[in-house]
Amino acid sequence: MVFVAKMALRELRASWKRLLFFFACIAIGVASIVSLRSLTQNVRVAITGQAKALTAADIVISSNRPFSSDALAKIEQRLREYSVTERTNAVQTDTMVRPATGGRAVARMVEVRGVEPAFPFYGTVVLQSGGTYAHALLQNRGLLVRPELLAQLGLKVGDALILGGAPYTIRDVVLVEPGRRLGGFSFGPPVLMDRADLLKSGLLSTFGRGRYEIMLRVPERSVAPLLGRLRRDFRDFPVGARSYRTNEDNLSEDLMRAENYLSLIGLVIVVLGGIGVSSVIRVFVQQKLKAVAVLKCVGGTNPQILAIYLAQVIALGLAGSAVGVGLAGVVVAWAPAFVGNLPPGTVEIQYELTAAAVLQGLGIGVLVSLLFSLVPLLQVRHVKPSLLLRETSVARRRDWLEIAVIALVVSALAGLAIWQAASMRVGLAVTAGFIGVTIVLHLTGRLLVRTVRPLARSRWFPLRHAVLRVGRPGNQTRAILLAVGLGSFFMIGVRLLQTNLLDSFNVQVREDGPDMFLIDIQQDQVDGVVALFTSTTPSLPPPRPIPVLRARVAGVRGREVNMESYQEVRGRGSLGREYVITYRPTLEDNETLVEGDFWSATNDGQPQVSIEVGIHERFRIMVGDIMRFEVVGRTIEARVASIRRVNWRDPRRGGFMFVFRPGTFEQAPHAYIAPAKGPDDPSVRGRLQHDLVARYPNVSVIDVSEILETVRKVVRGVTLAISVVGAIVLFSGILILVGSVSMTKFQKVYEAAIFKTLGASTRSIAGMIVLEYGALGLLAGAVGSIGALALSWTVSRFALDIPWEPSPIVNLAGIAITGMLVCGIGVTSSLDVLRRKPLATLRAE
């Protein structure tokens, strides 16, 4: 053991320069994984804080009626069991408010929430005045309201508002309020008041509709178990429980996606580093053959010699990882400048290295060094000491040990992938892709040698020798193919994934997307509503009203649809539920046709309907089927003309299960809904909403601009982070490829020098190199590119759950760039030979 350690140190002392690249690969890989991991953990901490701020508590128990004494007793019991001591109650209801004096003499519906002094457990109430929130503001009949309510009623802070028949004073304006459910369906702006006042107001008497909440602060480890317990307790009661972690909005889903993606990227960079490591070790072993033979000659056994090199690998891996951690520290320190911060009013991100990430990075660095060196190192076992008597190439043989080691390495790699990507699916997809591409590259290498062999008879010197070089045993053809193919596989894969992921984000943050929804516009009001918008905001695209009707499916193909049980009705699992339908002549941007025509040129007068692919799959309704619909008291038979797929994540034009061909319902009474983009200026916005409701009292406005803005800001930050990380992958990947390919030059340089001595012109040697490396690069790029397509598809589809679109440009560019890159490296790394006098090179050998 001592000998092994000493020997490893002596060897390292002499050869560390040659292993610098190894070192660099590990350092880059570890730096990426540690910084990504730290950053995602930092962001996660911030997001958790943010999620808590959105919920204002760890767990919220809610009911649409006052808690019964039984329910309360049960809750008390559970709280004792989980030793939860901090709780506060809240209640929320819709009510009408109107100015006490002055302002406009109109009543407005608001969503009023009554809270106690302990509110909120998390997050802060941000006030327009800049003051700090305290419950005292609400006491003695105080209200906090939203700016748009003031605009709509023509009031200001300090004015009085009649709520529940009693006057209240508006104490301040709320900009951010924790605990209000995002994306809730509400007809009025939020108002905050004292819970006791609200309960005393009489609004919540027996028939009053309210939402009663108990908010809890719970130790972190108890959140999930307590939540599960409460949900089981109240399964059959109208009592619900949710935690800050309950994913109820797109935002947290997107963040999860981003996090998974970033973990995946960390893994990919590490694997890229591993590929570099394996290239170095291959060359390294080649250079160490003689030393190994000598050791064997003087009594060294295989286990000893393997141990000597493994010890070096571990030492280098450890040192490289340490440098990587240092690099990660720098990256993390710089991160705020790149990634920016979340919007104000949300939680700050603390950027710092986390201990867990550092330990993981060190472990992974050493593990990857070992895994990727092990197989090439096994070759030393085949080194024969007779090599010292005369030059012989080392025969490569596969034996059981090597196959066992490969199996071990692959499973360790799969384990690593699953662990790092935090997902079985992604881990397996990456590993399978890795193995698949490796095998294909091996086969491709063989096929290439065989197919180009006839060209060896070519008259053109560079071509002839390029072919000869590719086919020579012991040549680096396979090493280049493998390194470049796998490298391009991962890089192009990441690029494709990034494109798809960002597309799916962008859909949600389009600035011109609708930020308010008008519902229940009557037919005769449509023109007026649109005109109101165009006169207020001439620069914005006018709202496009969508006709909507309600319909119930009565039968399909003669099969009657009836809902057998309450459960079916409540679970909405049945086709017989009520659907909102529409009609229009063309597909929307968020729809794609799966089958049939939308609409066919011929129209036989029979009503036609297009169904969503989900309906087609769930109920096996086909194109050509006849469906019967009950539409406001009439029955209509319509032929299924097409099947559409709706991208539900793209909210621009909503989504409909059934879309009819125009011509059927124009005469039927129907209302319109209109997604609209409102003015950004809040006062203009408030005025528009006021005018709208004043003129068309039946029209209700649901304003989602604030939710959208939060989503946009976060998504923008995440998008930037993903792009930056993508660039890092590309950069480090290219660095590693350059290194791997130029490692192969040693042998080539020597040959080139001999060719030159024998009178070959610089041009023809360069031509030879260009042909050889170019062909290898293109081939490896093509294999990698195809693999990347499969990888990105699998990961998009099964892990990130985002729609996948091919992007041929990325693929083609990937192949071309790979070819050119490899070619360029081949030529540049041989430049000195091409330029120098051949003798210099030969002597240097």
Partner 1 sequence: MVLGDSLTFGLGLPSDESYPAILQRKLDQAGYRYEVVNAGVSGETSAGGLRRLDWALGNDARILILALGGNDGLRGIPVESMKANLSAIIDGAKRRGAAVLLAGMEAPPNLGNAYTGEFRGAFREVAQQQAVPLLPFLLQGVAGVASLNQGDRIHPNREGARLVAEHVWRSLEPIVREDAARR
Partner 2 sequence: MIRLQGVSKTVTSGDRPLTILHSTDLFIPSGQFVAVMGPSGSGKSTLLGLIAGLDAPTTGTIEIDGIDITTLGEDDLAKLRGEAIGFVFQFFHLIPSLTAYENVLVPMEIARRRDAPRRAAERLAEIGLEARGHHYPSQLSGGEQQRVAIARALSNDPPILLADEPTGNLDAANGRHIMELLGAIHARGVTLVLATHDVELAASADVRLAMRDGRILNAEFAEPRRRQWSS
Ligand X SMILES: Nc1ncnc2c1ncn2[C@@H]1O[C@H](COP(=O)(O)OP(=O)(O)O)[C@@H](O)[C@H]1O
Q: How would DSSP label each residue in 786-839? A: HHHHHHHHHIIIIII-------HHHHHHHHHHHHHHHHHHHHHHHHHHHHS-HH
The region of 161-169, 244-252, 429-437, 640-648 touching partner 1 under the rule CB under 8 A is: 161-169
Residues between 385 and 414 that touch partner 2 (CB under 8 A): 385-386, 388-390
- Cα separation, 237 vs 248, in Å, equals 21
Among positions 72, 107, 294, 754, the unique one binding partner 2 when judged by CB under 8 A: 294
Strands 658-660, 608-612: parallel, antiparallel or unpaired by DSSP?
Answer: antiparallel
271 binds, among partner 2, partner 1, ligand X, none (CB under 5 to 8 A by kind): none
- Cα separation, 733 vs 158, in Å, equals 62
- Cα separation, 813 vs 828, in Å, equals 22
Minimum CB distance to partner 1, residue 46 (Å): 37
Asked if 313 and 378 count as a contact pair (C-beta separation under 8 A), the reply is no
Is the Cα dihedral 742, 744, 748, 750 positive or negative? positive
131 binds, among partner 2, partner 1, ligand X, none (CB under 5 to 8 A by kind): none
Among positions 102, 303, 541, 806, the unique one binding partner 2 when judged by CB under 8 A: 303
Peptide bond into 599 cis (omega under 30): yes
Binding status of residue 3 toward partner 2 by CB under 8 A: yes
Residue ranges that bind ligand X, judged by CB under 6 A: 390, 392
Using the minimum distance from each CB to ligand X, give the nearer residue, 166 or 388.
388
- Cα separation, 283 vs 781, in Å, equals 22
Beta carbons within 8 Å of 324's beta carbon, 6+ residues apart = 26, 27, 28, 29, 30, 31, 32, 33, 34, 361, 365
Beta carbons within 8 Å of 335's beta carbon, 6+ residues apart = 35, 39, 351
Nearest to 484 by CA among 276, 287, 282: 276
CA dihedral 655, 796, 503, 592 (to 10 degrees): -40
The region of 71-79, 172-180, 305-313, 628-636 touching partner 1 under the rule CB under 8 A is: 628-636
Minimum CB distance to partner 1, residue 247 (Å): 23
Binding status of residue 208 toward partner 1 by CB under 8 A: yes
Using the minimum distance from each CB to partner 1, give the nearer residue, 119 or 696.
696
Minimum CB distance to partner 2, residue 278 (Å): 22
Burial of 630 (0-12, 13-18, 19+ CB in 10 A): middle
Residues between 362 and 401 that touch partner 1 (CB under 8 A): none
Among positions 3, 5, 6, 64, the unique one binding partner 1 when judged by CB under 8 A: 64
Residues recorded for the chain = 845
Residues between 172 and 201 that touch partner 1 (CB under 8 A): 187-188
Among positions 55, 95, 252, 260, the unique one binding partner 1 when judged by CB under 8 A: 95
Binding status of residue 471 toward partner 1 by CB under 8 A: no
Q: Provide the token pair at 785.
A: 């590119």
Minimum CB distance to partner 1, residue 674 (Å): 15
363 binds, among partner 1, ligand X, partner 2, none (CB under 5 to 8 A by kind): none
Using the minimum distance from each CB to partner 1, give the nearer residue, 209 or 450.
209
Minimum CB distance to ligand X, residue 299 (Å): 23
DSSP 3-state assignment of 273?
helix
Using the minimum distance from each CB to partner 2, give the nearer residue, 355 or 389.
389
Binding status of residue 80 toward partner 2 by CB under 8 A: no
671 binds, among partner 2, partner 1, ligand X, none (CB under 5 to 8 A by kind): partner 1
Tell me phi and psi for residue 805, to 5 degrees: -125, 135
Using the minimum distance from each CB to partner 2, give the nearer residue, 13 or 221.
13
Binding status of residue 233 toward partner 2 by CB under 8 A: no
Using the minimum distance from each CB to partner 1, give the nearer residue, 327 or 563.
563
Using the minimum distance from each CB to ligand X, give the nearer residue, 391 or 524.
391
Q: Provide the token pair at 716.
A: 């923008």
235 binds, among partner 2, ligand X, partner 1, none (CB under 5 to 8 A by kind): none
What's CA 408's distance to the chain center, in Å?
A: 31
Among positions 171, 296, 465, 478, the unique one binding partner 2 when judged by CB under 8 A: 296
Binding status of residue 671 toward partner 1 by CB under 8 A: yes
Among positions 125, 145, 204, 293, the unique one binding partner 2 when judged by CB under 8 A: 293
Nearest to 266 by CA among 333, 336, 328: 328
Among positions 300, 433, 654, 726, the unique one binding partner 2 when judged by CB under 8 A: 300
Binding status of residue 303 toward partner 1 by CB under 8 A: no
Minimum CB distance to ligand X, residue 845 (Å): 22
Q: Provide the token pair at 175.
A: 């900009």
Answer left, alpha or beta for residue 123, where phi above 0 means left and psi between -120 and 50 means alpha. left
What's CA 829's distance to the chain center, in Å?
A: 39
Residues between 370 and 389 that touch partner 2 (CB under 8 A): 384-386, 388-389
Helices (H) and strands (E) in the chain, counts: 22, 21
Binding mask 13-42 for partner 2 (x = CB under 8 A): xxx---------------------------
Q: Provide the token pair at 263.
A: 């973990």
Binding status of residue 108 toward partner 1 by CB under 8 A: yes
Cβ–Cβ contacts within 10 Å for residue 14, how many? 9
Asked if 347 and 717 count as a contact pair (C-beta separation under 8 A), the reply is no
Binding status of residue 613 toward partner 1 by CB under 8 A: no
Which residues of the chain form contacts with partner 2 (CB under 8 A)?
3, 6-7, 10-11, 13-15, 290-291, 293-304, 384-386, 388-390
Which residues of the chain form contacts with partner 1 (CB under 8 A)?
64-65, 93-96, 98, 106-109, 162-165, 187-188, 202-210, 238, 520, 522-524, 550, 552, 562-566, 569-570, 576, 578, 632-634, 667-671, 697-698, 700
